[in-house]
Amino acid sequence: MKAEIFKHSQWIPETDPEILMFYFYTALQTAEFNVLDFMQHKFKPEGYTAIWLLAESHFAIHTFPEHRKSYIELSSCNLEKHNKFIELINHEYEQNRTQ
């Protein structure tokens, strides 16, 4: 088996920690990633960062509330799960852009 890591990053128009945590935890499960651990931190007065440790690597979120956007990043050694996750999030944010 060849050692490969597939990476994806993008900006999204959401900064609410509760929405981000719920949505991305659900998307990771739907894409069939194996979540090993989760860590988050809420900054004062605002800001949020979170990371999911996956059996297949990791997923991270960093919010920039002052700019009304968040940066997300997925690293995965499983191309099938990686592509499924990207498809899910792109579908979600495409729907939101058309409303």
Residues annotated catalytic, as ranges:
57, 62, 77
Whole-angstrom CA distances from 64 to 36, 52, 61, 96 are 26, 19, 10, 19
> Whole-angstrom Cα distance, residue 46 to residue 26?
24
Counting every residue, how long is the chain? 99
- Among residues 27, 49, 22, 51, the alpha carbon closest in space to that of 38 is found at 51
